[in-house]
């Protein structure tokens, strides 16, 4: 059986079942970190996003808010509930979702 492609591995970030199986989640995250540490994730029901999985890369991004932003959708939200839609969920304002 072939190993899942990178785009399928990225589904762990939006799949509640994956979070319910920490072993599977961490194995997929380890593979992403080793093979695609900066992974563009495209899922049918979610806006596309970048998964940054290495600490040094995250720190570099955090040091340059003039280049990198987590706007307009700072949380992983289904496309149907994203800001700008009628079903938009209240905006989350915790430290991890804020720039700067």
Q: pLDDT by residue (tens digit) across 54-83?
A: 999 999 998 998 888 776 666 777 877 766
Greatest distance between any 2 Cα atoms in the chain: 44
Let me know: does 76 contact 14? Beta carbons within 8 Å. yes
Name the residue range of residue 49's domain: 6-72
Inside any domain, residue 94: no
Inside any domain, residue 96: no
Inside any domain, residue 91: no
Alpha helix positions (H), the chain: 6-9, 16-19, 22-35, 55-62
Cβ-proximal residues to 12 (8 Å cutoff; 6+ apart), any chain: 18, 19, 24, 25, 28, 29, 32
Inside any domain, residue 84: no
Inside any domain, residue 88: no
Inside any domain, residue 35: yes
Residue 95 has pLDDT above 70, yes or no: no
Inside any domain, residue 20: yes
Quote the number of domains for the chain: 1
Residue 1, pLDDT score: 43
Query: pLDDT tens across 40-54, in order?
Result: 999 998 888 899 999
Inside any domain, residue 56: yes
Cβ-proximal residues to 49 (8 Å cutoff; 6+ apart), any chain: 13, 40, 41, 73, 76
Residue 37, pLDDT score: 95
């Amino acid at each position: 059986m072939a190993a899942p492609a990178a785009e399928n591995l990225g589904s762990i970030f939006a799949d509640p079942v994956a979070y319910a199986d920490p072993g599977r989640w961490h194995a997929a995250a380890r593979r992403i970190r080793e093979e695609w540490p900066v992974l563009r994730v495209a899922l049918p029901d979610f806006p596309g996003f970048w998964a940054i999985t290495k600490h040094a890369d995250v720190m570099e991004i955090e040091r340059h808010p003039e280049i990198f932003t987590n706007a307009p959708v700072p949380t992983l939200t289904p496309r149907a509930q994203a800001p700008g839609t009628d079903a938009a969920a209240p905006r989350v304002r915790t430290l991890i979702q804020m720039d700067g």
